[in-house]
């Protein structure tokens, strides 16, 4: 265990040396500030490292991760990240990236009681309830959980669109696009769900804010 831990720090030194060998100014440039075009909202799952799977170098992706890539509109952490990304960094794209094999979504589909996390999982169960008719008729449980994972991403993209932060940005004609993706941990490929929102026109009337 001790060796494992020390290796992480050794790996860091090697990484720095590799970066500097390619570009002596690599860290000097990053130290000047960030202007990332993308906000990534992904799952905390260790197999879905945001930058790595899309080949994005440091400085390109502002990242928020939580269990099952949820956009919960009373979550101060998410809202703070979103507000900073949209209003200060002025990102152009917000990507909600779920993943097949997501333990959070699988748990939400079951009756397991895990602990405190049950309360977080509740938000995902709500997505199941909202899509009950579609999900209940899928007999194969793997197919059903995969579809649930996709529907959860779709719902979280809609949750982003419902926030006052995103709607205010659209109101002032900011170039801001929302996307939904699902990453497959089994082959490394990303499926674009083609939910691309750039205004609030597709929202149910009750969610549209007069800004
Ligand atoms: Co997950």
Q: Which residues of the chain have pLDDT under 70?
A: 1
Count of residues making up the chain: 211
Joined together, the tokens standing for residue 160 give: 């982003």
Whether 47 is catalytic: yes
Going from the N-terminus, what domains does the chain have, and what CATH number goes with each?
A: 1-33 (no CATH), 36-207 (3.40.1050.10)
Q: Give me the residues near ligand 1 (ion), CB cutoff below 5 Å.
A: 43, 45, 102, 104
Q: What was the pLDDT predicted at 1?
A: 64
Question: What is the Cα–Cα distance from 71 to 41, expressed in whole angstroms?
Answer: 8
Whether 99 is catalytic: yes
Distance between Cα 106 and ligand 1 center (Å): 9
Q: What was the pLDDT predicted at 2?
A: 82
pLDDT digits (tens, 9 = 90+) for 75-99: 999 999 999 999 999 999 999 999 9
Vertex 130, ends 83 and 156: CA angle to 5°?
20
Question: What is the Cα–Cα distance from 12 to 129, expressed in whole angstroms?
Answer: 45
Least Cα distance to 151 among 51, 40, 69, 66 occurs for 69
Whether 102 is catalytic: yes
Vertex 111, ends 107 and 117: CA angle to 5°?
50
E strand intervals along the chain: 38-43, 61-66, 93-100, 177-184, 190-192
Whether 187 is catalytic: no
Of residues 64, 97, 102, 123, which has the active-site annotation? Answer: 102
């Amino acid at each position: 265990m001790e060796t494992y831990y020390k290796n992480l720090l050794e790996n860091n030194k090697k990484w720095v040396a590799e970066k500097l060998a390619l570009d002596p100014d690599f860290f000097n440039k990053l130290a000047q500030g960030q202007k990332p075009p993308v906000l990534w909202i992904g799952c905390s799952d260790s197999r879905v490292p945001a930058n790595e799977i899309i080949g994005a170098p440091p400085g390109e992706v502002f990242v928020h991760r939580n269990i099952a890539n949820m956009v919960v509109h009373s979550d101060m952490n998410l809202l703070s990240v979103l507000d900073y990304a949209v209003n200060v960094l002025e990102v152009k794209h917000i990507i909600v990236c779920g993943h097949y094999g997501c333990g959070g979504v699988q748990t939400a589909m079951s009756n397991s009681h895990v602990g405190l996390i049950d309360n977080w999982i509740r938000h995902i169960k709500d997505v199941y309830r909202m899509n009950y008719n579609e999900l209940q008729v899928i007999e194969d449980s793997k197919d059903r959980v995969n579809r649930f994972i996709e529907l959860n991403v779709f719902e979280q993209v809609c949750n982003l669109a419902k926030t006052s932060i995103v709607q205010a940005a659209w109101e002032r004609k900011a170039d801001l696009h929302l996307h939904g993706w699902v990453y497959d941990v089994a082959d490394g490929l990303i499926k674009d769900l083609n939910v691309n929102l750039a205004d609030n026109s597709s929202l149910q009337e009750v969610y549209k804010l007069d800004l």
